Each structure stands twice: as C-alpha cells, then as structure tokens.
A and B are shown apart, each in its own frame.
Chain A
Amino acid sequence: MNRIKKLFQEKKDILSIYYTAGYPNLGDTVAIAEELERSGADLLEIGFPYSDPVADGPVIQASSKQALDNGMDLKLLFEQLKGLRKTVTIPVLLMGYVNPVLQFGVENFCKACAEVGVDGCIVPDLPMVEHEELYEPVFAKYDLSNIFLVTPQTSEERIRKIDGLSNGFIYLLSSSATTGKNLQVSDTTEAYFSRIASLKLKNPTMIGFGISSKETFDKACKYANGAIIGTAFVKSLSADDVRGSVKQFMKEFKP
C-alpha cells in the first residue's frame, strides 16, 4: 500500500513539514529528512526550486533562489534521493512548479519518483483539467499520489471534483494567500473549515499556509487530519548546524 494512505489510516494530528531541497546547503536534502523523521515528523514535502515561484512568499522564494544558486536541479535531487529509503521510512512528497517537471519529462519525473521511493507530488500550478487528461494515467502507473489545493474561494462543486481526482489527501489552504502569512483563525476561517468537514470527503485533509507554532498546529488539527508547516521551518534552518536546527525546531511540536 502507498505509504500516504497507510499514514492516514493509522494516525491523527499528522505533522507534515515542507522544506526546499538544496537549502541551506546543497547537500542537506537527505540529512534534513532523516532528522525530521527522528524528531517526530509524520510526512515530508520536499520542494524542488523554481526561479519564479508565484504562490510563495518571501521566505520560501529566498530559499528557492539560494538552492538554485547552490546548484540544485531535479536531476541532482533524484541523485541525492537515491539512498533516501535506507534511512527514511515516513511518506515523502515532492512539491514544485510545473515547468521543471515538463522539461524533465512527466513520465521520466514520475518514474524517478517511484525509483527513489517518493510517494506523491504537489504541483500547485498544474491545472486540474490538465492533470485529469494528461498526467493522471502516468501518476497512476507509478502509484503516485497527486495532491490538490483547496482555498476558501473554491466552490463545493469543484471541491467534489478535486476529491474525486485525489488519492492521498487534500491540501486546505487556510486563506487565499501566498506562503508565509500567519494563520488567524477567525470566524470565517472556522466556518470554512467546518464547511469542508461537513462535506464528508473521501480523502483526508491537511491544513497548510500560516501554520507556524504549536498553537496554530493544534487549532488546525481540530478541523483536519493534520497540518503542514513550511515557512516557519525553512526560516529556522541554520546553514552551520542543520541537524541541530531541525532538532531545535521540532522540540516545540514533539517534546
């Protein structure tokens, strides 16, 4: 069974961590994954950098730029991930923009994911209609989950469609925003989360964007199967002591 499905069957309050491959140092990708698993993360989202990340705020933009300057690309990332499954057992997703995937080749990309033990992908600027017609069969062939995003503005009809096309989980954005804004659980966000919960979707949900502390994480877990931390984690990484900074960050969440 796909590691993602298994995770959602077995656990609640799932903590997923996003970080950018090749940041802060080019060779940190697997070390961060190992340290995160050891410190209690349940799921990993490894970002492959892109020069024009329109859905991201300043922190993740800067990490992408640094990673590119360090020399990161998809070819090198798959090279680095070759030994991943020797030490990392939790599910791993790759997250990034569609153009690098197109240049790598969709089939090649999916094949490489399957070979290194990546369980699925999040490609925010790949439209649902394109995925459905062109990519879905390739993802299925390699047993990869494709994760779609839902925002407070997404209509119920579209959420149902996303639910039908998803296998893994649905990524709920706490607000329509670029990454790195703080989560304010106002009455409207609460209403939105409750509305999603009441839809009884077949896929589990994870809340992302704006989760930066134990407090916001716990709040998010009230409405979903877990939550995703990106910007706050990326910001906390120290180039001089990567493993130490991961441990330090995770203390708050898994004491």
Chain B
Amino acid sequence: MNYFVNEKGYYGDFGGAYIPEMLYPNVEELRQNYLKIIEDEDFQKEFHQLLKDYVGRPSPLYLAKRLSKKYNANIFLKREDLNHTGAHKINNTIGQILLAERLGKKRIIAETGAGQHGVATATVCALRGLECVVYMGEIDIQRQAPNVARMKMLGAKVVPATSGSKTLKDATNEAMRDWINNPVDTHYIIGSVVGPHPYPDMVAIFQSIISEETKKQLIEQTGNDQPDYVLACVGGGSNAMGMFYHFIDDEKVKLIAVEAAGKGVDSGFSAATTTLGKEGVLHGSRSILMQTEDGQVVEPHSVSAGLDYPGIGPQHAHLFKTGRGQYVSITDDESLQAGLLLTQMEGIIPAIESAHALAYLEKMNFKGGENVVVCLSGRGDKDMDTYMKYFGL
C-alpha cells in the first residue's frame, strides 16, 4: 500500500487540487517547483541551520516517568512545545518562507484559527523582512487577543474574516480570496496538511522533522527505533503527519490520531471529522469533511481552537480509510483533565490540542513495557484562560 502522494497529487481516493482557474497558476508554480527547491542542498542547509539555531531543534524526546508508571508503559513525549513560538507550527513556516523567497515572492499571507500558525508566520516574516497579512476569524480575534497582539508586534497586518461563521474555515476562504486577487507576488503559507496539492505533501515534509528526530532519539534511549504506538492530535493534522511520517511505512508501529469530540460526538458540538464526516471537497482537496446532506460545510466545535476545523488533510483521510491509522476522539472535558494531569505529574502545561492526544492514554490498555510516543505539539500558555475558567483557578 502506498500511503504517500502519487504523481497526480492523490493519496488513494483523496487529495487533488480542486481550485478555481484563478488559483491554477500559483498552485501549478508551486507544484512544479516545491520538490526541486526542498531537495536543493542550499535549501536543506539553510532550513536545518534555522531549525537548530532559531527554533531550538532537535526538540527533546522526554521519558515521562511518573506518567509511565501510571499507565504501565514507557510514555515518551516529543517536546514540540519547547520550540520557538511554542508549537510545531514554526517547522512549516520556516520551510515555506525559504521556499517563498526562492520563488521570488514579496508578500506572505496566512490563515489562522487560534493564532498559533499566524504567530509562526508573522515570526518568520519578521525574520526575513517580508510583508505579512494574516486572516483570522472575527470571533477568533476576540477569543485570542494575546496572539493578535503578538502578530501585530511582529509587524503583521491581522485582517478579520467576517464572512460565514467568522472562524478558521472562513479565515482560510479569505486567504484564498486574497491569493486570487494577488496572483503574482504573493505566497500563501497554509498552516496544516490541507489545501490543494502540493500543500498537504509540502507541509508534511516540513513537519516530518518531528518523526525523523524521534527515531534517532528512540535509538539513543531504548536501542530500538520502532515504538509500539505513536499518538498525536488531529485538527487539519499537521503535527500528527509530522509525528507519523517516518513511521507510516513501518506497519508494526500503530498510529493513533486523536480528534476533538467537543461536547461529545453526538452533541452537535463536535469536531470529530472521521466519525461525523463524509467524503467531499473542502479548501481545494478531496478529503473527509463535516457537511450537510446538500454538501454545505458544517461548523465544528472544540474547546481547542487548533482542532476546531471541519475537515482533515487528505493523507489522514487515506490513512483512516485504509485502516493504517486508528482515528479516535476525546471530549473537551477529557482533554482538560488530561492537561491538568500532565501539569501536576510532570510539570508541563500542555496546549489543549496536545492534551487530546494525552487523554487517549487513559483509554488504552498496556501490557507493560510498550514504548509509546505522544506528540506534545504545543505549550499551554495560550490556553491559560480556558484552564482558569474550567478549573476555577
């Protein structure tokens, strides 16, 4: 079974580039050049140098001893929360800004939900001196004031998306509209493994540093680079794809993707895409998405803004459909409890997104001695308001 993209831009039944003609030249330019640019020696050197000196990679693989004892397995945390800007998102924005420069682009646009990808994009634009415009749902701007301030301080223009439901999917629509209207000088840095081909593949390649490092670190720490389980949360799915990437072809490694069940899968307030969704087209690719019978996109819900997305990347849809990955879901309550647990047992406050992956440990039955890697995709500073309200801190 091939789990990676084919020459037509598909992962099995999913992927492709469902875009209006206005976007064709931009996306085609990217498709023709992305692998050539990424594989170039000079690009690789600059990319890895920045990941090391600027982002602070490699991020540690930390054996969480107290958590391991509780769950009767060796729980390793891949510490993406220790990256500059506090999450895995920066791996992708560093890669894409270097690529945009090589394509001669002068202006960068991005969409953001909670603001993590927006901050990561504004950061690399400041680093390289490029103009930056970030689209963000009007409702998210109100909910995520500190990140809006960060982006502004970094020199980005934050434009409210006032259409539709005024959240992440609408910010994505607005960014696409901007790209349609600025076809020549602008590069769109998509923040997840979604969008038209080649975005899902390109973002996965930039995030694959997560599993590349993990394999090396596992060898050093356990003498074996094959863990029994790898877990990650999935909104669009970029940290999960980075965490899975170098394990996908090794079928002995079980891949577990954790979606946000919100208030419960059947509550009407959920973002559990593989459970609630059907095949269709969203934001330029064929995938699985939450939609009505008439094909209108349904607004998702999760306490975690980073998982509050009605679709998943096409490669995830393929891993789900082929059974290569196990797709499960965790509720708002379960994730917040898992966040508190990690904080009190290991002294790490996780992002609520990452807490979804941690929460699934509670539902697994270990025999003892299994090696389990959980992607701790981000830190919880941005979520303090939510934690404070929930726990009455």
Contacts and interface: CB of A to CB of B under 8 A. Distances in A.
Contacts of B19: 125, 127
Given A52-B169, A55-B180, A103 B21 contact: no
- Range class of the B interface residue count: 35 or more
Interface of A: 50-55, 57-58, 61, 65, 68, 73-75, 97-104, 124-127, 129-130, 148-151, 153-155, 158, 173, 176-178, 181
A43 B368 CA distance: 71
Contact of B176 (A54, A129, A154, A177): A54
A104 B281 CA distance: 13
B159 to A, nearest CB: 13
B294 A100 contact: yes
Contacts of B297: 51-52, 99
Given A51-B164, A61-B163, A176-B183, A151 B22 contact: yes
A74 B294 CA distance: 7
Given A65-B164, A73-B294, A103-B294, 7 more contacts: A54-B177, A98-B18, A99-B295, A103-B280, A104-B294, A151-B22, A176-B180
B291 interface: yes
B21 A104 contact: no
Nearest to B169: A52
Contacts of A53: 173
- By Cβ-Cβ distance, the 4 closest A-B pairs, closest first, are A103-B295, A100-B295, A73-B294, A149-B21
A177 B18 contact: no
Interface in B281-307: 281-284, 291-297
Interface string B124-166: 0000000000000000000000000000000000000001100
Contacts of A75: 294
B16 interface: yes
B25 interface: yes
B296 A54 contact: no
Contact of A102 (B17, B25, B295): B295
Contact of B296 (A100, A126, A158, A173): A100
Contacts of A103: 278, 280, 291, 293-295
Contacts of B163: 58, 61, 65
A127 B18 contact: yes
B181 interface: yes
Interface string B186-225: 0000000000000000000000000000000000000000
